[in-house]
Amino acid sequence: MRPISDYHMHTPLCGHATGEPAEYARHAVKMGLSEIGFSDHAPLVAYFDPKVSMRLDQLPLYYRMIEKAQTEFKPQLTIKVGIEADFIPGYENKTKEILADYPYDYVIGSVHFIDDWGFDNPEERKKWEKENIDKVYRKYYELLRRSAQSGLFDIMAHVDLVKKFGHRSTESMAEEVKKTAKVFKECGVAVEINTSGLRKPVKEMYPEKSLLQIYQQAGVPLAFGSDAHDPLDVGKDFDKAYALAREVGYGEYVLFKKRKIERKIKI
């Protein structure tokens, strides 16, 4: 068994993904999915890097590209319009303005930066050697909570991304994660199972099982995403993601439309 929807995939506009939306859609159909959503990296608010996100003036092109694919694949495949936006403290209003530009079906929130350090960027990996890993983990969870509290996002992405290169905290983060799950629940934010971790040095699902269990127990809604930056990664390892959701006790996952939960699907 596998989920019917994949809500996390990119387009070449972000500068580090390949393949046109139609190619992602075609692969989705091949994988047996009936719904996908694009969630490319929104223009970075604090600075601009053409290898990290699209430019502000490319947003209209982004919508056009997806709308073209929507027309082409109707009614075989439902294609939602989402976006993945970074949480950068101090830039909430600017982020809000960008997100108000289009009636998105959902907005995925991501923490890829701690202060101005892109901690998951391979080019900034060296900085890990100078950091106290436990402190980095605590700061990361604090930022996840503030992301949810900002009200900017509907789904939080890859909620243990700090482990990407295999850096492990020495102290248990269970209390941090419990606090985070509680905040997600209170703020009405969903969590995703993101299969891209399996393709990264850590070779684990985001989040790993014991953490996902905490979100399940807190009653946080669930969504599925492959974080594909290549059409062939759409729906990748979704059988494993589904099994994981089931193992921790999730009985359903959610679909979004116009930034509201549209439908719940039984697991």
Measured from the CB atom, the residue of 176 and 227 that comes closer to Zn ion is 227
User: Whole-angstrom Cα distance, residue 239 to residue 149?
Assistant: 32
Q: How many residues of this chain interact with Zn ion, rule: CB under 5 A? A: 2
Closest approach of Cβ 84 to Zn ion, in Å?
6
Measured from the CB atom, the residue of 84 and 247 that comes closer to Zn ion is 84
Q: Which does 78 bind (CB under 5 to 8 A by kind): Zn ion, Fe ion, none?
A: none
Closest approach of Cβ 158 to Fe ion, in Å?
6
Q: How many CB atoms lie within 10 A of CB 162?
A: 25
Kindly report the backbone phi and psi dihedral angles of residue 108, in degrees, each rounded to the nearest multiple of 5, phi listed first.
-95, 130
Closest approach of Cβ 75 to Fe ion, in Å?
27
Give the start-end residues of each E strand in 104-259: 106-110, 155-156, 190-194, 222-225, 252-257
Closest approach of Cβ 229 to Zn ion, in Å?
6
Count of CA atoms in the C-beta half-sphere (13 A) of 227: 23
Tell me which H or E stretch contains 161.
Answer: none
Those residues with Cβ within 8 angstroms of residue 233's Cβ, 6 or more apart along the chain or in another chain: 9, 196, 199, 226, 227
Closest approach of Cβ 81 to Zn ion, in Å?
16
Confirm if 39 and 83 have CB atoms less than 8 A apart.
yes
Q: Is 265 exposed, middle or buried (0-12, 13-18, 19+ CB in 10 A)?
A: middle
Catalog residues that contact Fe ion under the rule CB under 5 A.
84, 110, 157, 227
Q: Which does 191 bind (CB under 5 to 8 A by kind): Fe ion, Zn ion, none?
A: none
Q: Does 35 bind Zn ion (CB under 5 A)?
A: no
Question: Which one, of 194, 198, 239, 262, lies nearest residue 32 by Cα?
Answer: 239
Measured from the CB atom, the residue of 83 and 214 that comes closer to Zn ion is 83
Measured from the CB atom, the residue of 157 and 189 that comes closer to Zn ion is 157
Give the residue, chosen from 176, 227, 233, 237, that forms a contact with Zn ion under the rule CB under 5 A: 227
Q: What b/e string do you get for 163-184 counting C-beta neighbours within 10 Å, with b at 16 or more?
A: bbeebebeeebeebbbbbbbbb
Measured from the CB atom, the residue of 3 and 197 that comes closer to Zn ion is 197
Measured from the CB atom, the residue of 110 and 213 that comes closer to Fe ion is 110
User: Whole-angstrom Cα distance, residue 228 to residue 187?
Assistant: 27
Closest approach of Cβ 147 to Fe ion, in Å?
12
Closest approach of Cβ 112 to Fe ion, in Å?
6
Q: Which does 237 bind (CB under 5 to 8 A by kind): Fe ion, Zn ion, none?
A: none
Give me the residue label for tokens 């960027």: 121
Pick the piece of the chain touching Zn ion (CB under 5 A) from 66-74, 118-126, 221-229, 244-252: 221-229
Contacts with Zn ion in 119-158 (CB under 5 A)? 157
State which residue has the least CB distance to Fe ion. 110
- Binding footprint of Zn ion on the chain (CB under 5 A): 157, 227
